[in-house]
Amino acid sequence: MARIALHTLGCKLNFAESATLARALVAQGHTITDWDAPADIYILNTCTVTHQADRKAHKLLRRAARIAPNAHLVVTGCYAQTNPDAFRDIPQVKAIIPNLHKSRLPEYVEALLREAPLPESALPSSSKGTWTFFPSASGEGRTRVFLKVQDGCDYKCSFCTVPKARGPSRSAPPEVILQEALHWAQKGYKEIVLTGINLGDYGKPHGIPFLTLLKTLEASLPPSVARLRLSSIEPNLLSDDILDFIADHPRWAPHFHLPLQSGSPEILRLMRRRYTRTLYENRISAIRKRFPHAGIGVDVIVGFPGETQLHFEETRRFLADLPVSYLHVFPYSERPGTVAAHLPGSVPWPERLARSEVLRELSLRKKLTFAQSLLGQTFTLLLETETEGLTENYLRVELEKPAEAGALIPVTLTKADFEEGEVRVFGRLLTEPADLPPHSNGGPYEPAPSPR
């Protein structure tokens, strides 16, 4: 049996798939070890959303080759799918497994250990075939699990390599997802997070709507799964019916993450997004109407080709006025093979970073505004450690006194402040907890002072 190091870059789906592959390798009798430890095989599950992710992959592979010169290196994931030739100059790389065949990785590991010829699907030329759904999940500590319910994307955003890296939109029917969720419920996990590349596009090829999946999980999961949560969902796919269902069923978390990418109508058009700024604003209003204290996150890209200072100011002002809780900000990164890579008006990299910093500071102000508006109110906290956890509306809260890790407890928020470049929120455990409302809703919150 072999010592295998497995490292993952990128999104929650990649981590879910790596965790599933690791469990399969352990079941075969192998030992999973750290990337910086000597191993017989190093498996890198790559990302290719940005050029930084590409560079990090090469850096990790070179490090593994130095640690164990005689080890076999195996590359899989999105970078392996979109550009397998990028690894040809690393002699220790013995297998380049695209996402298309990632689920067969344990089989290829066995072939490497036997020094047997690798199947054609483990070679760089194997980028064609039939995409299937690879069920996977990753547990985070002993508290929550990320459950993949959808993969791939049929959208054609001008900046994105995901359709090439992940294939067409596809998913498993609700009964298959339910069985996987029940497995994790039996292991004691209290929160299940539904993840996907384009989560709201769930339903292909079987034709069962996403809302039906939510209803199936709600009706069939035991009460021990106290919290269910959606990961990022496209604004045009977050329907009123989905919002109404979540509002009517208390264990679905009032937390939503909606990618915006730009607040400029012209840049949205160049990005080939499937919604307008007006639709996005409508979805935020629809959330706030039902969940005044919901956590709402936003993805935004700055420095897209053709984005002038005026376009950026449109985005900044739009975000400043939106009642959202936090931002995930990304400087635009050129991706080979995308439409955007050939658009005129490239923004200098220093300017992209400067615009990113402006929006990150705005995000800090919004986090503080959101947290301070909730002081004195009671929420449920799922403790990841003895002193820290997440509320249903996605606030990370530190306890004034420790409690049992893994517990789901009522806490009253006591303090929110700006410390060491971050927003920190503190809470006190209720000694005699009263029944909590289904969602901790209330009136709209007022702006807090700037942390700067």
Q: Could you state, in order of their start, the residue ranges of all structural domains in the chain?
A: 3-122, 137-368
345 by Cβ neighbours in 10 Å (0-12 / 13-18 / 19+) ranks as exposed
Closest CA to 136 of 76, 189, 177: 177
Cα–Cα distance for residue pair 82/336, rounded to 1 Å: 9
Q: How does residue 445 score in pLDDT terms, banded at 50, 70 and 90?
A: very low
Is the pLDDT confidence value at 118 over 50? yes
Q: Are 429 and 386 in contact (CB under 8 A)?
A: no
Residue type at position 56: K
CATH number for 137-368: choose from 3.30.70.1560, 3.80.30.20, 3.40.190.10, 3.40.50.10890: 3.80.30.20
Ramachandran angles phi, psi of 95, nearest 5°: -150, 135
Cα–Cα distance for residue pair 211/226, rounded to 1 Å: 19
Order of all β-strands in the sheet with 144-148 = 137-140, 144-148, 191-195, 227-230
Instruction: Please state, in angstroms and as integers, the Cα–Cα distance from residue 308 to each residue in 127, 145, 302, 305, 349, following that order.
Output: 38, 41, 10, 9, 13
The predicted pLDDT at position 451 comes to: 38
Alpha carbons within 13 angstroms on the beta-carbon side of residue 350 total 0
CB atoms within 10 A of CB 22: 18
Under DSSP, is residue 100 helix (H, G, I), strand (E, B) or coil? helix
Q: How does residue 421 score in pLDDT terms, banded at 50, 70 and 90?
A: confident
Q: 177-219 pLDDT, tens per residue?
A: 999 999 999 999 999 999 999 999 999 999 999 999 999 999 9
The answer as to CATH 3.40.50.12160 being correct for domain 3-122 is: yes
The residue among 273 and 436 whose pLDDT is bigger is 273
Cα–Cα distance for residue pair 447/368, rounded to 1 Å: 9
Q: 313-328 pLDDT, tens per residue?
A: 999 999 999 999 999 9
Q: 359-371 pLDDT, tens per residue?
A: 999 999 999 999 9
Q: 244-256 pLDDT, tens per residue?
A: 999 999 999 999 9
The residue among 275 and 91 whose pLDDT is bigger is 275
The predicted pLDDT at position 450 comes to: 37
Closest CA to 83 of 75, 74, 73: 75
Task: Tell me whether domains 3-122 and 137-368 share a fold.
Answer: no
Instruction: Please state, in angstroms and as integers, the Cα–Cα distance from residue 443 to each residue in 35, 186, 246, 374, 434, following that order.
Output: 48, 38, 19, 10, 21
Percentage of the chain with pLDDT > 70? Answer: 93
The predicted pLDDT at position 227 comes to: 97
The predicted pLDDT at position 142 comes to: 78
